[in-house]
Amino acid sequence: MRFLFVGDSMTIGGAGEHTWRHRMWRHLERTCGPLGEAYEIVGPRDALYDKAADAPVSHAYADPAFPAPARRHLAGWGEGWLHMAPLISEAVREHRADTLLIFLGLIDLGFYTDSGATAATVRRFFAEARSADPRLRAVVLPVVPNVRARHDAFFAAECERFNELLAKAVAELSTPASPLLLASPPRDWDLDRDTYDGTHPTASGEHRIAAAFAEAMHQAWGVGGPYAAADAA
């Protein structure tokens, strides 16, 4: 298995953070390694976003033991489905990714496109990804609750509509040769506890995001195991 994390600011993370990518790496180490399930984390990038520099140039992960190869990803601050669709084919081909873990959508809806156009980009994204590997599989996380949706009724409705369109796209595009999964939203997501600014995850939010992906893969494909309580440390 060759995992590629695809996401926006919630996936790349900021300087000094663990990121949910780190939580997933620990989970894979704990559940795949002992079972002899070989895996690798791949991707063209490995940095965190540095707010002071306003650029993805930091390598100051909260856990210095997070190994360099496991830090790889395709995520960017302010980047969404719109930005990743033109990049995914090359990333899959060059890094031989076969399993995508995708957390996108909020940036698109907040700054670039409406729900309908974003859903169309989702379909283009998968067409591009499959042009590099027709047998790849993917887990997609819907847009989670955020502070703007709490105060902006129109934006909240757009998020809800996009999640419906995303579920439809995943169901229609999934095939036996190239299965797509829609992960369940993180359990008990709480903006005050699970985000530090109403959007970006705290440690508890990182664990809940990682758990959503881990549980989807375990239940559908038998990959790894349940997201253990020990992971919440």
Decide if 233 is inside a domain: no
Q: Vertex 125, ends 134 and 179: CA angle to 5°?
A: 45
Interstrand relation of 48-50 and 180-182 (parallel, antiparallel or unpaired): unpaired
Model confidence at 228, in pLDDT bands (50, 70, 90)?
Answer: confident
Q: What is the DSSP letter of 29?
A: H
Residue 233 has pLDDT above 70, yes or no: no
Neighbours of 164 (CB within 10 A): 13
Decide if 35 is inside a domain: yes
Report the distance separating Cα 124 and Cα 182, nearest Å: 17
The closest of 95, 10, 90, 13 to 47, measured between CA atoms, is 13
For residue 24, the domain's CATH number is 3.40.50.1110
Count of CA atoms in the C-beta half-sphere (13 A) of 208: 20
The closest of 53, 52, 55 to 12, measured between CA atoms, is 55
Do the beta carbons of residue 145 and residue 200 sit within 8 Å? no
Number of domains in the chain: 1
pLDDT in tens, 61-109: 999 999 999 999 999 999 999 999 999 999 999 999 999 999 999 999 9
Neighbours of 118 (CB within 10 A): 25
Report CA-CA distances (Å) from 7 to 73, 101, 141, 228: 8, 8, 10, 24
Model confidence at 230, in pLDDT bands (50, 70, 90)?
Answer: very low
Average pLDDT for residues 158-173, to the nearest whole number? Answer: 98
Cα 82 vs. chain centroid, distance in angstroms?
15
Q: What is the DSSP letter of 64?
A: T
pLDDT in tens, 38-67: 899 999 999 999 999 999 999 999 999 999
- Whose structure tokens read 């520099």? 53
Average pLDDT for residues 138-160, to the nearest whole number? Answer: 96
Decide if 92 is inside a domain: yes
Decide if 169 is inside a domain: yes
Residue 129 has pLDDT above 50, yes or no: yes
Model confidence at 32, in pLDDT bands (50, 70, 90)?
Answer: confident
Report the distance separating Cα 128 and Cα 119, nearest Å: 14
Q: Which residues pair with 181 in a beta bridge?
A: 139
Q: Which domain covers residue 169, as residue numbers?
A: 2-228
Indicate whether this model's pTM tops 0.75. yes
Decide if 42 is inside a domain: yes
